[in-house]
Amino acid sequence: MRALQAFPSDREHGGDGQLRRTGMFVGNPRPAAGGAVRYLHGIFAGVSEERLHAVFLGADMRYLNDRTVVTGGLGEVTVRARWLLQEAFASGAHGIVLAHNHLSGICRPSEADIQTTRRLVTLFRDVEIELVDHFIFTTERGFSMRAGGYL
């Protein structure tokens, strides 16, 4: 995987995928990385339903655009891979970062999170798009599925 300037690297996470705290998060991420994670975390501030958000990255792994993909109920969201691919192609994206929230306060991935993420990795790889990371946020914490070993 190519190094990203806008998102945290694995060494900026704890070995278990938990994001380390500086201000809002534990640890000492580079300023740009910390800003990107804070931005993603802020998208979920004050929401009362689960949401999935996507950030689309260019060939140089720099930001192109982002948007909320789907808003779900109290305990789940349904991922629409077709929409993600359409948006990625329209944006000229070579990478995607996904982020969603867990209202339960538990930022560990569920079995459904893991299966869906792995399915998307395979699907995106087939069309030469990299799933760079998939973050899970709660009010207080964040989890990187890449740093946690799920990607």
Q: Which two tokens stand for residue 66?
A: 């982002």
Tell me the pLDDT of the chain (151 aa) as tens digits: 333 334 333 333 334 444 433 333 333 333 345 677 888 999 998 888 889 999 999 998 888 999 998 887 645 556 778 889 999 999 999 999 999 999 988 888 999 899 999 999 999 999 999 999 999 999 888 899 988 898 8
DSSP category for residue 58: -
CATH code, domain with 22: 3.40.140.10
Closest CA to 147 of 40, 21, 9: 9
Is 102 contained in some domain?
A: yes
Cα radius of gyration (the chain): 14
The whole-model pTM stands at: 0.78
In one letter, which amino acid is 85? Answer: L
Look at residue 150 and tell me if it is in a domain. no
Q: Which domain holds residue 25?
A: 10-144
- Helical spans, DSSP H, in the chain: 31-43, 81-91, 111-126
Residue 130, in any domain of the structure: yes
Residue 87 domain-assigned (yes or no): yes
Residue 151 lies in a domain: no
Q: What is the per-residue pLDDT for 33?
A: 53
User: Is 2 inside a domain boundary?
Assistant: no
Q: What is the pLDDT of residue 56?
A: 93
Q: Label residue 49 exposed, middle or buried (CB < 10 Å: 0-12, 13-18, 19+).
A: middle
**Contact at 8 Å (CB) between 138 and 102?**
yes
Q: Are 150 and 118 in contact (CB under 8 A)?
A: yes
Alpha-carbon distance of 54 to 64, in angstroms, equals: 11
pLDDT, residue 76, reads: 53
Instruction: Quote the pLDDT of residue 46.
Output: 87
Whole-angstrom CA distances from 37 to 5, 67, 111, 122, 126 are 12, 15, 23, 25, 27
Count of the separate structural domains present in the chain? 1
Answer whether residue 77 is part of any domain. Answer: yes
